[in-house]
Amino acid sequence: MNIIITGATRGIGKAIALQFAKPGNRLLLCSRNEGELLALTTAFNKQFPDTAIHTKVTDMSIKEDVFAFADWCLQFGAPDILINNAGQFIPGKIHEEAEGTLEKMIEVNLYSAYRLTRKLLPSMMQAKTGHIFNICSIASLQAYTDGGSYSISKFALMGFSKNLRLELQPHGIKVTAVAPGATMSSSWDGFEIDKNRIMEANDVALMVYAASQLSPQAVVEDILLRPQLGDL
């Protein structure tokens, strides 16, 4: 299976890659950080010698980079699973955040998934199979303090997921929106977090992998995960 994961070197993306690193699978991974990609490739090749690992340095906020990554992925054939995970969290209030924050959040959190998906869809539609996971957020479902433009972009990603699912039903392609609450990732760098109040990245990865294993007749439309003790 060809499995594409964006933002794959940290947090949820890396945890998902670990879940799909099965014999016979081909992982097509990207990140902005070349050093992290090299380290990931080395570690995965050692730990999973029967899994093909291919990586490409890509800034998913840049249209040309996204298109180049899509073309690179397609040389391996139609994707079986696409996980739109790349994203960024900038906290703030709408009336206080820096000028340009909304544009940046939309580029990273929405357009990245929109552009990549559109480039890959013709091959998936021709194959009449595939599964797309969009890593949304609890911020896709409800407003919260200091959500600002991040929340706006994630609401938009949820809307994209819902429309895409409806459009692709006749083509045999599944779409799952994943909305995690607070999860340990680089988004929380610099914050003092009680580990008992935040989920592990692997919690999200396990749910994504489980949803990918259903029969062609079934789809998990939405995955909502929250910390056991409630939202932060």
Q: Which residues are catalytic?
A: 150
**Cα-to-chain-centroid distance, residue 13:** 6
**Residue given tokens 């797309």 in the structure block:** 132
Q: Which alpha helices (H) appear in the chain, and where do they start and end?
A: 11-20, 34-47, 63-74, 101-106, 112-127, 148-168, 201-211
d(CA 46, CA 114): 34
Helix (H) or strand (E) holding 27: strand 26-31
Q: Are 28 and 76 in contact (CB under 8 A)?
A: yes
User: What are the tokens at 128?
Assistant: 């009449």
**Residue given tokens 């997921």 in the structure block:** 161
d(CA 5, CA 61): 15
